[in-house]
């Protein structure tokens, strides 16, 4: 098993990168005390030498934001939302889609064609636009009236259910293709039940495809997060701050900030500083790009190699019969 993982560096490297980043984010948020922001840096004589945002340095490896928060710690804190939620959403999609696909597979062909036609139409639906319309009232327009849990769970449910019809249709088509194989027909002729045929014959062919589909969904959810961030919809809630007032009209000039430090929100809220303070956009963009690259490495390995199989060691059966050696002394000769 270890040799196989070493021989597949894309799978091992991508999985370790995502796992360690997610684990570090959870441990940091759970046990570490948040560092106080520093808006002003002082020298040894307590003279002000710099104002936030600070460029990358030994103290701030990836720079800081406008409030003086360390960008490295912000990215680490937001990883559990960006990566963790994408994994949870992808897993929820797979569970519901598997149930939906299996139900479609079991339905009569006439009724199945009707549902398949309706689900197939969603292939051309803009997922980001539909998601924006449904979750914007909770996480953007009326964000102040909902708690943090609601602003995280509600977008998750929308992102899960909006892709279930299409994925269910895909799984149903895969089951149809597998069920047309000759050995499936032989199992039916020999009297195998539907559950037995699915468990023993369909599942071994379907499981590798479900694993690949799950990893692909993680990447797609990350991309949807990025799109929603550019639309100023931040998972976990949006903090709208008054930055200034218009001298002519007196209207407040506001800016949107991510309340959870998820990466797509950090990209969107700092996009206006791409030229003046480039590290504020390069840091979250690099983290996002590396994570998507890790997901794509896993997908590439799964599509180009055989899936890793865990084999159980077979126990050697010891014979209960005693082996006896035939010798000359064992015989008694009679005259």
Please provide the DSSP assignment of 259-280 as one string: SS--HHHHHHHTGGGTTTSTHH
What pLDDT score was predicted for residue 260?
81
Give the 3-state secondary structure percentages of the chain, helix then strand then coil, rounded to 5: 65, 5, 30
Average pLDDT of the residues in 248-252: 77
Q: What gap in Å lies between CA 49 and CA 42, rounded to an integer?
A: 6
**Among candidates 241, 95, 217, 86, which has minimal Cα distance to 152?**
86
Q: What gap in Å lies between CA 219 and CA 224, rounded to an integer?
A: 9
Average pLDDT of the residues in 14-21: 95
Q: What percent of the chain has pLDDT over 70?
A: 86
Per-domain boundaries in the chain: 2-35+70-223+282-308
- Read off the pTM: 0.81
3-class DSSP assignment, residue 205? helix
Query: Is residue 221's pLDDT more than 90?
Result: yes
Range 2-35+70-223+282-308 has CATH code 1.10.1130: no
What pLDDT score was predicted for residue 310?
44
Q: What gap in Å lies between CA 115 and CA 103, rounded to an integer?
A: 11
**Which residue would you say has higher pLDDT here, 311 or 216?**
216
Query: Is residue 309's pLDDT more than 70?
Result: no
Strand partners, 157: none
HSE value, Cβ hemisphere, 13 Å, CA-based, for 200? 11
Q: What gap in Å lies between CA 152 and CA 164, rounded to an integer?
A: 19
3-class DSSP assignment, residue 333? coil
Q: Lowest mean pLDDT: which of 4-13, 131-140, 196-205, 237-246? A: 237-246
Query: Is residue 332's pLDDT more than 80?
Result: no
Query: Is residue 129's pLDDT more than 80?
Result: yes
Q: Lowest mean pLDDT: which of 21-30, 133-142, 303-312? A: 303-312
Q: Per residue in 75-99, pLDDT tens?
A: 999 999 999 999 999 999 999 999 9
Average pLDDT of the residues in 201-215: 89
């Amino acid at each position: 098993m270890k040799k196989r993982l070493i021989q597949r560096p894309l799978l091992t490297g991508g999985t370790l990168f995502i796992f360690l980043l997610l684990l570090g984010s959870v441990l940091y948020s759970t046990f570490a005390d948040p560092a106080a922001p520093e808006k002003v840096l002082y020298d040894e004589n307590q003279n002000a030498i710099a104002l936030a945002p600070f460029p990358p340095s030994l103290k701030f490896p990836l720079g800081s934001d406008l409030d003086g928060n360390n960008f490295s710690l912000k990215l680490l804190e937001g990883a559990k939302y960006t990566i963790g939620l994408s994994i949870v959403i992808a897993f929820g999609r797979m569970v519901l889609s598997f149930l939906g696909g299996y139900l479609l597979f079991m339905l009569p062909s006439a009724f199945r064609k009707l549902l398949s036609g309706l689900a197939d139409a969603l292939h051309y639906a803009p997922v980001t636009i539909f998601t924006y319309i449904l979750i914007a009232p909770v996480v953007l327009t009326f964000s102040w009236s909902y708690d943090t849990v609601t602003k995280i769970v509600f977008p998750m449910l929308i992102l899960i259910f909006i892709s279930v019809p299409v994925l269910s249709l895909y799984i149903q088509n895969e089951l149809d293709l597998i069920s047309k194989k000759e050995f499936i027909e032989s199992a039916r002729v020999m009297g195998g039940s539907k559950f037995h045929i699915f468990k023993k014959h369909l599942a071994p062919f379907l499981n590798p495809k479900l694993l690949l589909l799950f990893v692909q969904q993680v990447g797609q959810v990350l991309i949807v997060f990025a799109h929603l961030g550019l639309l100023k919809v931040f998972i976990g809630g949006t903090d709208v701050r008054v930055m200034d007032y218009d001298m002519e009209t007196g209207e407040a000039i506001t800016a949107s900030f991510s309340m959870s430090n998820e990466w797509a929100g950090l990209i969107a809220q700092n996009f206006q500083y791409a030229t003046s303070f480039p590290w504020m956009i390069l840091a979250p963009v690099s983290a996002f790009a590396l994570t998507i690259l890790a997901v794509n490495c896993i997908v590439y390995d799964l599509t180009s190699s055989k899936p890793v199989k865990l084999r159980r060691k077979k126990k050697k059966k010891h014979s209960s019969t005693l082996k006896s050696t035939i010798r000359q002394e064992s015989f008694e000769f009679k005259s």
